[in-house]
Amino acid sequence: MHYNVLKKSLTPYLLQEIDRIHELIVTPSGKQLFLHAQTILQEISTARAEITQLQKKKLRFGMPPIIGNEYFPKLSSYFIKHELMNQIEITDGGSRDLYGMIRQGRIDLAVLGSTQPIVDQYLETELLLDKRFMIVVPPTHPLSKQDTVSFKDIADEQFVLLNEHYVHPAAFTKLSKQTHTHPKVVYQSNDLTILKSMVRENVGIGFLAEIAVHPEDHLVCLPLSDEVQPRFLISLAKRTQQIVTPLQEQVVQVIHEFVTAQKNSSS
């Protein structure tokens, strides 16, 4: 429809004139149209990004540092075996950041961490792996001698946590509410290496996904004994409106092959 015709037909419903002050105000209908316009503009922006990316014949793959540090060195050997490595551009970032990027069309595929299944009309997601959150302490800490620990029993401890770019604060808050406790968080960071160093120096105890800690960190991981506790879910995500290219199809198949091997090796 021509712009002027659209303007003439909709303006009476979108704007209301207040005679006494000669001012136009936006009506509820106008506000509703504004919301739809924002969605349309976002879709146009996403479409442009997707079309531009298709010309490059590369796949933009998002992976959070914790998941990447644990799995990408092994996964990359699968990509190399299938001659895909040179066609993949890795984007590093926290799960919350990557979630926003894939919705905006800035990446094509992402592995995301979450504390519950991802439900989003704009995304297709598939659960790959299910891991635990752990309490992390240095070997010199009194808790290091225990096999497990309940969250309520450590409520008086000082904690160092990953920040809002990760899903850990959401899991920590969920446990705090569930146990009616208010643990003291003395420091938050998006740098996992610094955080683990602070735990080693006994600045505070950590709350991390089990895959975030390795033997060379010289830290002790304690499972939570709480009957109900959040899980660290690792999912593969892509946009629902995105055309699946042969490259993306290949990458997803290789990821499935890798995940199957991981599950078989741990069983």
The predicted-structure confidence for 41-65, as pLDDT tens digits, reads as follows 666 665 565 555 555 579 999 999 9
Question: pTM to 2 decimals?
Answer: 0.78
The predicted-structure confidence for 166-191, as pLDDT tens digits, reads as follows 999 999 999 999 999 999 999 999 99
For residue 1, the model assigns a pLDDT of: 47
**Residue 152, both tokens:** 């309520």
The predicted-structure confidence for 99-152, as pLDDT tens digits, reads as follows 999 999 999 999 999 999 999 999 999 999 999 999 999 999 999 999 999 999
pLDDT band at 266 (very low <50, low <70, confident <90, very high): confident
Mean pLDDT of the chain: 87
Nearest to 165 by CA among 233, 110, 97: 97
Class of domain 132-231: alpha beta
Domain boundaries of the chain, sorted by first residue: 3-52, 55-130+232-266, 132-231
Nearest to 71 by CA among 259, 264, 265, 223: 259
- Dist CA 228 CA 201 (whole Å): 30
First CA to last CA distance, the chain: 61
In the three-class reduction of DSSP (H, G, I as helix; E, B as strand; rest coil), residue 157 is classed as coil
> Please, are residues 102 and 94 in contact by the beta-carbon 8 Å criterion?
no
> Please, are residues 192 and 94 in contact by the beta-carbon 8 Å criterion?
no
CATH topology of domain 55-130+232-266: D-Maltodextrin-Binding Protein; domain 2 (3.40.190)
Nearest to 204 by CA among 185, 176, 179: 185
4 has a pLDDT exceeding 60? no
